[in-house]
């Protein structure tokens, strides 16, 4: 009888009591379709990309972030945190020394080989790869769940979804405009239809002239751009207010975008990071394309 009571008591502690292992365990599926489970919400988190850093703060987990990657400059408190490398090289020794409960990685920017080494050391790794606006919302919800901030994360995700829905409704019937988005100058680079910036262009009623290219961020030639006959050219430049990249297109006055003065500079950190700030960036882009339509 005593043994039976002991067994019942043990089962209760594991499965019924709030502090039991099953009750405390938190799980979420990452971008590699893996179910990442933690014995309890993470209190020490290392972020390995600027985008992941922003999403963690949006999820309410900013106080749990103990280190970040290079260029993690938003929100401002993130810029004060220790850095453990960049997309080219991570300081695995430094990461392990921080004893993280969770490491958040970015599929397009981090090395699978390096992160697999971390995983073999028992460090849980959660991979992100937002390709749709909904992916951003779900990523924040997942990070909120894994760090014990579900209510905050769900509220933030709901606000983001509502903002995107409002833009969809506003520009659904807008006349399409042909858009060339310039990512870089030398070499000349753009984005294909799978990149989230292209989704923002479509959200605003635009058409990405290079949507059908196979690579996410393909290299192209000036001649290829001219052949697409863009009605609007948009770029974030080098991350400042320098309009040099746009000015270089002025030598082609027969291009509609140039002839109608539809050459626009956008805020780089708003559109080029798949985070909640993309909503603000999409609003800016939609305003630009609306202005461009009036000039056609």
User: Do 131 and 217 share a domain, yes or no?
Assistant: no
Partners of 221 in the β-ladder: none
Q: How far apart are CA 131 and CA 74, in angstroms?
A: 21
Residue for token digits 């995107």? 164
Residue 36 has pLDDT above 70, yes or no: yes
User: Do 204 and 144 share a domain, yes or no?
Assistant: no
Q: How many helices (H) and strands (E) does the chain have?
A: 13, 10
Q: Is 63 helix (H, G, I), strand (E, B) or coil?
A: helix
User: Do 182 and 276 share a domain, yes or no?
Assistant: yes
Query: What stretches of 136-215 adopt beta strand conformation (E)?
Result: 177-182, 206-208
Picking from 119, 153, 187, the residue at the C-terminal end of a domain is 153
- Give the residue, 21 or 57, on which the prediction is more confident: 57
User: Do 183 and 223 share a domain, yes or no?
Assistant: yes
Which range (18-27, 143-152, 248-257) has the least confidence?
18-27
User: Do 261 and 218 share a domain, yes or no?
Assistant: yes
| Residue 224 included in any domain | yes
Q: Are 265 and 127 in contact (CB under 8 A)?
A: no
Average pLDDT of the chain to the nearest whole number: 91
CA 1 remoteness from chain centre: 57
Alpha-helical (H) ranges within 188-277 are: 196-203, 222-228, 244-247, 256-259, 268-271
- Quote the tokens at residue 68: 């970040």
Residue 4 has pLDDT above 80, yes or no: no
Tens-place pLDDT, residues 177-223: 999 999 999 999 999 999 999 999 999 999 999 999 999 999 999 99
User: What's the CATH code of the domain at 128?
Assistant: 3.40.50.1980
Partners of 103 in the β-ladder: 46, 125
Q: How far apart are CA 198 and CA 50, in angstroms?
A: 20
| Residue 48 included in any domain | yes
Q: What contacts 134, CB < 8 A, 6 or more positions away?
A: 161
Q: What contacts 155, CB < 8 A, 6 or more positions away?
A: none
Residue 109 has pLDDT above 70, yes or no: yes
* Residue 227: domain span: 173-294
Rg (CA), the chain: 23
User: Do 178 and 130 share a domain, yes or no?
Assistant: no
237 half-sphere exposure, CB direction, 13 A CA radius? 15
pTM of the model: 0.88
Residue 111 has pLDDT above 50, yes or no: yes
Q: Are 114 and 86 in contact (CB under 8 A)?
A: no
Q: Which helix (H) or strand (E) holds 253?
A: none
In whole angstroms, how far apart are CA 108 and each of 129, 166, 277?
7, 29, 19
Reported for 114-119, long-range contacts at CB under 8 A and 24+ positions apart, including other chains, are: 114/90, 115/48, 117/92, 118/92
Q: Are 222 and 169 in contact (CB under 8 A)?
A: no
Q: How far apart are CA 69 and CA 94, in angstroms?
A: 12
Kindly indicate the confidence band of residue 23, based on its pLDDT and cuts at 50, 70 and 90.
Answer: low
Q: Are 295 and 232 in contact (CB under 8 A)?
A: no
User: Do 145 and 25 share a domain, yes or no?
Assistant: yes
pLDDT of residue 268: 82
Residue 50 has pLDDT above 50, yes or no: yes
User: Do 138 and 179 share a domain, yes or no?
Assistant: no
Tens-place pLDDT, residues 74-89: 999 999 999 999 888 8
* Interior angle at CA 145, CA 18 and CA 281, nearest 5: 160
Query: What value does the mean pLDDT take over residues 240-266?
Result: 93
Task: Look at the chain and report how many structural domains it folds into.
Answer: 2
């Amino acid at each position: 009888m005593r043994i039976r009571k002991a067994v019942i008591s043990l089962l209760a502690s594991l499965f019924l009591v709030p502090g039991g292992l099953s009750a405390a365990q938190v799980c979420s599926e990452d971008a590699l379709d893996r179910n990442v489970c933690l014995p309890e919400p993470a209190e020490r988190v290392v972020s390995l990309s600027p985008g992941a850093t922003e999403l963690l703060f949006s999820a309410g987990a900013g106080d749990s972030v103990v280190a970040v990657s290079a260029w993690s400059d938003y929100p401002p408190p993130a810029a004060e945190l220790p850095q453990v490398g960049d997309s080219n090289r991570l300081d695995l020794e430094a990461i392990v020394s921080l004893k993280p409960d969770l490491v958040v990685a970015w599929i397009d920017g981090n090395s699978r080989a390096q992160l697999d080494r971390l995983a073999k050391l028992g460090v849980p790794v959660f991979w992100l790869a937002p390709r749709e606006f909904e992916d951003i919302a779900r990523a924040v919800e997942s990070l909120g769940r894994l760090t014990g901030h579900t209510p905050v994360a769900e509220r933030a995700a709901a606000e983001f979804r509502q903002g995107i829905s409002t833009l969809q409704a506003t520009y659904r019937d807008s006349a399409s405009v042909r858009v060339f988005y310039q990512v870089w100058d030398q070499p000349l680079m753009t984005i294909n239809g799978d990149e989230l910036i292209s989704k923002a262009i479509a959200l605003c009623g635009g058409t990405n002239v290079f949507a059908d290219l196979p690579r996410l961020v393909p290299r192209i030639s000036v001649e290829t751009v001219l052949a697409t006959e863009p009605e609007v050219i948009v770029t974030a430049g080098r991350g400042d207010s320098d309009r040099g990249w746009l000015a270089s297109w002025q030598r082609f006055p027969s291009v509609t975008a140039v002839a109608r003065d539809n050459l626009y500079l956008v805020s780089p950190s708003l559109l080029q990071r798949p985070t909640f700030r993309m909503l603000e960036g999409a609003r800016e882009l939609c305003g630009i394309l609306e202005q461009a339509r009036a000039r056609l």
